[in-house]
Structures are given as structure tokens and as C-alpha cells.
A and B are shown apart, each in its own frame.
Chain A
Amino acid sequence: MKKSNLLILVLSSTLLACGFSFAKEEAAADCKKQIEELKEFEGNCPCFRAVMDEYVRENKYNEFAAYLKTLTEKNKSVAPCANYYIALTRYRQLKYLEEQQLWDEYFNEGNAYREDLVSCAQAAIDATTPADSAQIYSRLALWQFHQDQQDAFAEESLIALTGALGEYAKSAKDYEPLREAADILSGYGEKSRSKELYRLYAQKVISPDSDTPDLERLAAGFFSQGNLGLAETIYDAYIERVIKAGPKEKALPVLTGLARQFSYQPDKPNDPLYAEKVFMKVEELGGKEVFDQELMYLRANNLEKAKDYAKAKDYFVQLTGFYPGSTYADEADFKTGVIFTYILRNAKEGEDYFKKLAKKEEADPWAISSLYHLGLLLQWQDDFEGAKKYYTALVEKAKDGFADTVALAKERLKEINERKPLEYNLDTFLDASLKEESGNFDMSKVETAVAPNPAKPESDVEISSSAYTTESGCMQVVLQYLWSGDLASETPPGDKPALRTKYPTPGTKVVFLVVTSPVGIIDRGIAIVDVR
């Protein structure tokens, strides 16, 4: 690019930014004028937000509160809105002071701001009815404040907020407060309340006259904003309409498209459980036949990533039953073997899948790994000769490939040849997974996560874990993390709850974990990593 062009580009961007900022300032000034000239109270407080944004942009919280107080003195009809905005300003100001650690002001003025917040929000509530959005927002700010403080008013103000929202929904024409309240409640973990509000909101925005494409656009908009809760509520209505409108040949591609959209995919918004809900509708409508191999794999993989292993296994089995020659068949068989053996504690059933793969002539990653797991299970049962056969077959079959699995097999062979016990971490995992008396280690107290999954060969992948332990106050329980399985080059120390590794070859890697405390095993975990 020529220098002159660059200069023009920079100048024009600057001018554009200045122009935009100037336009905003001008709009705020207009709004200020409109507010000052208000003749009577308007329940939705038009213009206040624009003016507030202008002040808050420069962190002029006190100035805005002072402006609103002066305004109230001059013009009583703006008082309810002004009071709400003072409350909101103080709420944001306290947050800002804490986040920025501006402690002098926080300690010196905090009580005054809190008092302002509560009394102004209450004044706004007293001066309005639940039909006014100003009341809804005031109650929302008040509840957030109490909830953040977890004080005695939190529950009471939530009940009052919910009641007011119900009243508001009956007569409201502007539904945004319902959505905003639902978003905020959802952010605070009030899932059932937010779900109910999303339902109310959806009922309002979806009129019987609104056409189906509009509905889809609306839902897709919320999906792309990452508001999956609301998107799902609207998609539910959309799906209902699509099915009702028929015919099924037309509806099925829409539904499968949605199932794909919500299925597990790294770094994109997804909700595997909702995807499965849609898959179930697809199956209801079109039967199993509508699932081609790719869609069936997607469904099974989605459930596997959502850690619904028992159901995932069923669909992997279904996939290989319907499409035995599928490109996904080996992976599906291998994962079925892993799930049966190490998750569902059914090594007998699992072995059949490993054996099926081990018989294959070509050396693909799953056949090679299956040989390893067959050897491992025999070694754990002290059938060293049997184990050796599998490991030796693996090394021979792998030739120069599958370096990480070959390395594991060689390690195991060395143990057998030198009459050494199976590596401690691995042995502990197998004991915890396969011995009858270890049935209480059901993976409910150890959670694992893989990022990214799938991973690329030779690129970083992080496997992390969290263990749920009993309370111990300020006496920390020292935990040990016994990692084993497909760790590639990594040998994580026992005090690390996470590891970072690189897999040299593609395939399905299985990482085992047992977490222990000084008094014994807490639980076991497993991570299944796709490398492709």
C-alpha cells in the first residue's frame, strides 16, 4: 500500500471515529434536552440510558448522580426514572471501584453509595407500577445488589422481582425488560427462573401471525449472540411449527441442520444436550433410516463429548451395525471397547470390540491401540504370555508408525521381561476400574476436560481435572493425581491436576486418572482425546 493511501486510510478512520463519537455526544445532548423538558412520567424512561452511557463512558458516576438529583429537584415528573438511574449508577460505580481497586473512594464513600442505591431504587419502585419498565429495572438492580452482598434482603427482593415480572408480562408492549431480566438471572445461575422468563418472552415475541422464517431469524440471532437459553426456547417453537407445517421430507433437513448446529464443536457455541433433544425429534419423525453414517457418528460423538457414555456407546454400536464399512466404523468400535471396559466396567464385552479391531489386517490407529488394550488387560490379570503376544503383534504391525502406542507397548514388554509390576498409576487405575470391590469409584467425583478436542497431531493439548473432596476448612487436603495411559511424551508429576502434551500420531487417545488423598482413592477419571 502506498504511503499516501495509508495516510488517507488512517485519517478517514480517525475522522469516522471522531464523527461517531461526536454523533453520540450530540444524541446524548438531545436526550438531555428531552429529559429536562419532560412534562409527565414515562414508564420506560426514554433517553436516560443514552445520557448515562455518555457519563459512564468516562466513569463520571458522581457527576451523573448529581445531575439526576438536580434534575429531580427541578422537575418532579422525572423523579422515578432519575431515581432508578441513580440506583443503577451507584450499583455500577461500586462494581467499578472494586474492579479497579479504587479503595480510598470505596472505603470512604461506599456506605453513602449503598444507601443511595437502596433508597433511590426503593423510591423508584414506590412511585411506579409493575407495568412500568422503570419498576422492573429498579427491582432488578436492587436484587443484584442484595444478591452480590448475599444479605438478608436477597431472597425477598428476588421474590418481589419475579412477581413484578409476572405482572409486567401481562400488559407489556416492550418485552426487552423480560429478556434482560432473564439474561441477568441466568448469569446468576437462577436457571429455572430465567427459563420461565425466556418462555414468557418467546410467547410475547412469537405471535400467531409471525411467520416461520422470522422465527428462525430471531432464534439464529440469539444463537449467534451466544444466548443459547433464549435461542433454544425460540427454536422449540420454530421446530414445532416446522413439524406441524410438514411434510416430513421438508422438516427433516431443517431439524438435522439444527441438531448439527447445536452439536459439540470446540470453540463454537454448542449445547450437546439440546442437540440430542433435536436428534430425538429427528428419529421420532423419520426413524433411524434418516441417519446417514455421518449424522449417526455426529450424534454418538456429541453424546460422548457430553459424557453420556452409555448412550454414546449405543449409537456407536448402531453406527457400526448400520454402516459396517463406514469410515467412522473403527473409531466407533474402539470407543465402544473403551466405554465398555473402562467406564461401564464390562471388560468382557469391551474386549470383543478390541479383538474385532485387532484382527484387521491393515494397521490403523484403532487396530494398533486395540492390541495395546488387549495386552494391558491380560497383563493386569497376570497373563503375561498372553499380554506379550498382543504387544509383540502391535510392534510388528505398527512397523515404523504409531510411535506413541509402540512406545507404550515396549514399556509394558520391558516390565514383563524384567518381571517388574505393571506401572503403579496404570495398575491403580485398572484396579479402581475393574475390580468388583471398587464399584464405588464411579467417576462422579473426578471431572476431566480436554482442550482442544479434537486436537491436531504435534500440537498442544491440555487435559485438566477437578476433584470433588469433602470440606476441610483451612486444612487443605493434599491430593495426588495418578496420570497414566496415552500421555505421549509427558510424565506429569503427582501433584499436578492438569497436563499439557502433544500427540505425534492421529487416533483416539485414552488418558487415565486416579485422584487420591492421604486416606485413599477419591475417584477415577478418564479423558478420550480425538487426534486428527
Chain B
Amino acid sequence: MLAACSLFFAVLLTSALAAARPRAYIKKLKKSQYQLIADGKPMIVKGVCYSPVPVGANHEYDWWSDPNKPWMTDGKLMQEMGINTIRVYQPGPNPEAVRQVIRDLYANFGIRTILGNWLGFWEYPAPFYGDKAFQERFKKEVLDMVKAFKDEPGVLLWILGNENNYSCLGQVNPWSSDEIDKEPDPQKQKAMRFRIYYSFVNDIAKEIHKLDPNHPVALGNGELIGLEYAKESAPDVDLVACIIYRGKTFGNLFKSLKATFDKPILLAEFGADAYDAFLKKEDQNMQAFFLESQWRQIYDNLAKNPEGEGNCLGGAMFEWTDEWWKHNESDPEAWKVHDTGSNWSNGSYYFDIKAENNKNMNEEWFGITALSEETESGLNKRMPRKAYYVVREFWKNPKPLPKKKGKR
């Protein structure tokens, strides 16, 4: 009888503890190592950025409401590859449609969703982070998103912003305030912008935690730029979701983060394009080469790997399908063409860096599945690229380097 009672209370206690635990949270281990726990189990984010815009449409297309349900076709392919998470930058306009996508992916394929918000980064003429009314507007937008989807079992975490921190340096989407304008020193101006922006993010993070204790909140950040200010101004975010394009490896990223802002890291956007801008032809191998190498480094730095930094939670590679609208986004005719032009240069992707003006990054060719103009069940046919298979094989057997024996 006593034994039965003990067992009953033990079960009760365990259930109560399980119920009290958030659905997803970050566990801090020894030596500043971190692990993501989802539904009680450690989880490595094997993710992909998801924006299934069909050929001929642009970013304004509401794919969430597409009657052909692209996420069902994609979810199956993703599941077969081993993907367990999608990252979307911002939910669509219809909450019911968004809810359905999150449910379909989770119920049918076990794929979780990371939801984000741009925090007004694309506002024209500028994102006025120094303006209280602007801040309130986007804070409300985020909190509405959290209220709408926090109870969905498929939701994994929230990401606030993307590469918004670059605007604090003053070169892209620049913004200011009266107070900043009064400061003559450009370096101090930058510091002021970072403090304003990260405090704004922190304020939202705190509000989310009150509303939804069940999901971590990430600070979206381009590279590690400005994180020394986030240390003071955004202590309430749970993790950093970094956007990194460093070619074959992430360099000393994991160690540097530990030194500047000791939070876990999710590689929220990384990858490589599949077009050789120098030879002017598709090169699936080049993309597969970079992605395999990047995933290897992600795995080296996951928690409990004694050789890495242990602060990485996984990543979301950019991206699931090509997007044909991106090169010339103002011309609807160009959205029907798979453009081979490049808008930016990155020397870390060295195979095609000798392209004209060194512009080697082909924005329309980042998909690990290509799109065909041919349709199947109302959707552009998906054609997995080599990276799909190479990363799939890597995930099946993510071989760590041989264990250290003595000093190397």
C-alpha cells in the first residue's frame, strides 16, 4: 500500500513538474553550454528558412492561404530529408491560415515553426526606432502574433528582427532621432542607435515572457555586430538568432559570441547559392559543398561536444525553394524569369568570386530545392538539389572528428 502510494505521488509530482516546465526552453549546462529542450527532449534545430513564393509572384504573395497547400508537399520532402523546423520571417495576414500551416506541418510531419517579425525594418523612409509611437506600433504587432499562436504545439520559438542591427551603423535603412543628431561623434551616434534598438527588443522580449512563458525569445542579428551593446541593453532575450554568410565555415563565431554576449546561438540564416556567377551556370555541387561544411561546424559546436563551444542550438539554412522575384523585385515580368544576375559580393564564397565586379551571390538561387515552371497539383514542381541529399546524409551520420587523444 505504501509502495503504491509512493508511486502515485511520484507520478503526480513528475506530471506536475512536466506541466510546469515550458514547452520549449533553453537549458544552461556547465561551461556556458546550452541545449534547446522541446517537449521535454533535447532538440537540435535542423531547420530551413521557408518562403514558398511561386514562380511569377513576389514577396507579397500570401502563400499561407494558397489552396494548393505548398507546405504539405514541402513538409513531406522536408521530413524525408530530416528537417524538423521551418523558420518564417513573419506570419501571413490571416491568423487562421497561419495556424493551419503550423498545425499541418507539426501534425503530419513533426516539423515545428519558428515565427518572427521584421520589427518594421522595411518601413519607408526608415525604421524609426527612436520614435516611441513607432516602437509601440511594432511591439503591438509582435504581441498580437504571440497571443495568436503561443498555444500552437508546433511553435518552437520567436525571433525578433533579422539584420536590423545593420541599420544602427548607418549604411542600410539608416535612421536617427533628435538626440542622436545632436551628438557630433559618429561612433557615439552608432552606440546610441544600438542602445535604443536593443532596448526596444528587450522591452518586447520581457512582454513576451509575461504573455508566453512557454517559448524562448531570440534576438535576430546580422553577424555579431553590436552585440556588445545587447549585453547591456537586451539581457532578457533567451538566445541570439544570427544571420551569417561566411562561406565554408563560421570562423570563430561561437567563441566570439561567448566573449561578447554569452547566450546560446541559433544560426537563423546561412547557406550558399547554387549558381556559379563566373562560369554562368548552375552549380549544385558548390552549394552542397558549403552547406555540408557549415552543418559540420554547427554540429561541432552543439552542447556536450567537448571539443566545441557548446553554445549552438542548430540552424535554419537559407532556404527551402528558390525565389524568382528577388533579383529585380520591381518588375513583375522578371518574377517569371529565373534571373542569373547577382546583387552582392561575398569573397568567402570563393568559387565564383571572379565574376564581373566580384558579384557572386545569386539571390534567386539559394533554394535547396529548385522550382520548375512545370506545375504539379497546382504548385511549381520541386526539384531537390544536391545539397538536399548531401545534408540529408550528413544528418543521418553527422560524423564528429575523431576524439582527441592527448594534446593536438
Query: B268-314: which have CB < 8 Å to A?
Result: 285-286, 288-289, 292-293, 296-297, 300-301, 307-309
A459 close to chain B: CB less than 8 A: no
Chain B's nearest CB lies how many Å from the CB of A41?
Answer: 19
B243 close to chain A: CB less than 8 A: yes
When A98-B289, A160-B408, A477-B171 are in contact, do A471 and B250 touch as well, CB less than 8 Å?
no
B328 close to chain A: CB less than 8 A: no
A128 close to chain B: CB less than 8 A: no
CB-based contact A151/B223 at 8 Å: no
Query: B341-375: which have CB < 8 Å to A?
Result: 343-345, 351, 361, 363
A7 close to chain B: CB less than 8 A: no
CB-based contact B171/A160 at 8 Å: no
Query: B369-408: which have CB < 8 Å to A?
Result: 386, 390, 393, 397, 399, 401-402, 404-408
B67 close to chain A: CB less than 8 A: no
Residues of B within 8 A of A474 (CB): 163, 243, 245, 344, 361, 363
Q: How far is the CA of A156 from the CA of B307 in the complex (A)?
A: 10
CB-based contact A101/B344 at 8 Å: no
CB-based contact B401/A153 at 8 Å: yes
CB-based contact B408/A475 at 8 Å: no
Query: B35-80: which have CB < 8 Å to A?
Result: none
Q: How far is the CA of A125 from the CA of B351 in the complex (A)?
A: 34
Query: B246-277: which have CB < 8 Å to A?
Result: 248-252
A465 close to chain B: CB less than 8 A: no
Chain A's nearest CB lies how many Å from the CB of B357?
Answer: 8
A5 close to chain B: CB less than 8 A: no
Please tell me which one of the listed residues B174, B249, B252, B361 contacts residue A519 in the complex, with CB atoms under 8 A apart: B174
CB-based contact B293/A476 at 8 Å: no
Chain B's nearest CB lies how many Å from the CB of A476?
Answer: 4
Can you name the residue of chain B whose Cβ is closest to the Cβ of A495? B357
B166 close to chain A: CB less than 8 A: yes
Q: How far is the CA of A168 from the CA of B112 in the complex (A)?
A: 55
CB-based contact A477/B245 at 8 Å: no
Residues of B within 8 A of A440 (CB): 186
CB-based contact A472/B307 at 8 Å: no
Residues of B within 8 A of A126 (CB): 405-406
CB-based contact A107/B390 at 8 Å: yes
The number of inter-chain residue pairs (CB within 8 angstroms) is 110
Q: How far is the CA of A107 from the CA of B292 in the complex (A)?
A: 9
Query: A489-532: which have CB < 8 Å to B?
Result: 517-519
Query: A94-131: which have CB < 8 Å to B?
Result: 98, 101, 103, 106-107, 110-111, 114-115, 118-119, 122, 125-126
Residues of A within 8 A of B252 (CB): 150
CB-based contact B166/A153 at 8 Å: no
B196 close to chain A: CB less than 8 A: no
Can you name the residue of chain B whose Cβ is closest to the Cβ of A149? B249
CB-based contact A149/B293 at 8 Å: yes
B169 close to chain A: CB less than 8 A: yes
Chain B's nearest CB lies how many Å from the CB of A207?
Answer: 33
B95 close to chain A: CB less than 8 A: no
Query: A151-187: which have CB < 8 Å to B?
Result: 151-153, 156-157, 160
Q: How far is the CA of A440 from the CA of B386 in the complex (A)?
A: 50
Q: How far is the CA of A114 from the CA of B250 in the complex (A)?
A: 19
CB-based contact A150/B170 at 8 Å: no
Query: B330-350: which have CB < 8 Å to A?
Result: 343-345
B148 close to chain A: CB less than 8 A: no
How many chain-A residues does the 8 Å CB contact rule pick out? 38
Q: How far is the CA of A238 from the CA of B81 in the complex (A)?
A: 65
CB-based contact A101/B285 at 8 Å: yes
CB-based contact A151/B297 at 8 Å: yes
B154 close to chain A: CB less than 8 A: no
CB-based contact B297/A149 at 8 Å: yes
CB-based contact A475/B405 at 8 Å: no
Q: How far is the CA of A110 from the CA of B295 in the complex (A)?
A: 14
When A107-B292, A474-B163, A519-B171 are in contact, do A150 and B408 touch as well, CB less than 8 Å?
no
CB-based contact A122/B171 at 8 Å: no
B211 close to chain A: CB less than 8 A: no
A469 close to chain B: CB less than 8 A: yes
B172 close to chain A: CB less than 8 A: yes
B191 close to chain A: CB less than 8 A: no
CB-based contact B225/A106 at 8 Å: no
When A114-B401, A151-B249, A519-B174 are in contact, do A473 and B408 touch as well, CB less than 8 Å?
no
When A106-B289, A153-B401 are in contact, do A470 and B297 touch as well, CB less than 8 Å?
no
When A103-B288, A150-B251 are in contact, do A472 and B171 touch as well, CB less than 8 Å?
yes
B222 close to chain A: CB less than 8 A: yes
Residues of B within 8 A of A469 (CB): 171
Q: Mark A381-423, 1 if CB is under 8 A from B, else 0.
A: 0000000000000000000000000000000000000000000
Can you name the residue of chain B whose Cβ is closest to the Cβ of A470? B169
Please tell me which one of the listed residues A114, A149, A470 contacts residue B170 in the complex, with CB atoms under 8 A apart: A470
Residues of B within 8 A of A111 (CB): 397, 399
When A107-B292, A473-B243, A475-B166 are in contact, do A153 and B307 touch as well, CB less than 8 Å?
yes
CB-based contact B401/A471 at 8 Å: no
CB-based contact B402/A122 at 8 Å: yes
Residues of B within 8 A of A101 (CB): 285-286, 351
CB-based contact B171/A150 at 8 Å: no
A142 close to chain B: CB less than 8 A: yes
CB-based contact A476/B408 at 8 Å: no
CB-based contact B171/A473 at 8 Å: no
CB-based contact B301/A152 at 8 Å: yes
Query: B65-121: which have CB < 8 Å to A?
Result: none
Listed in ascending order, the chain A residues whose CB lies under 8 Å from chain B are 98, 101, 103, 106-107, 110-111, 114-115, 118-119, 122, 125-126, 139, 142, 146, 149-153, 156-157, 160, 440, 469-477, 517-519
- Could you jot down 21 A-B contacts, CB within 8 Å? A101-B285, A101-B351, A107-B390, A114-B401, A115-B402, A118-B402, A122-B402, A122-B408, A142-B408, A149-B297, A151-B300, A151-B308, A152-B307, A153-B307, A160-B407, A470-B169, A470-B170, A472-B171, A473-B243, A518-B174, A519-B174
Listed in ascending order, the chain B residues whose CB lies under 8 Å from chain A are 163, 166, 169-174, 186, 222-223, 225, 243, 245, 248-252, 285-286, 288-289, 292-293, 296-297, 300-301, 307-309, 343-345, 351, 361, 363, 386, 390, 393, 397, 399, 401-402, 404-408
Q: A122-B405, A470-B166, A474-B344 given; name 14 further pairs at CB < 8 Å.
A: A107-B292, A107-B393, A110-B292, A119-B402, A125-B406, A142-B408, A149-B248, A151-B249, A151-B308, A153-B404, A471-B166, A471-B223, A474-B245, A474-B363
Instruction: Give 7 nearest A-B pairs by CB, closest first.
Output: A476-B344, A103-B285, A473-B222, A150-B249, A470-B169, A157-B408, A152-B308
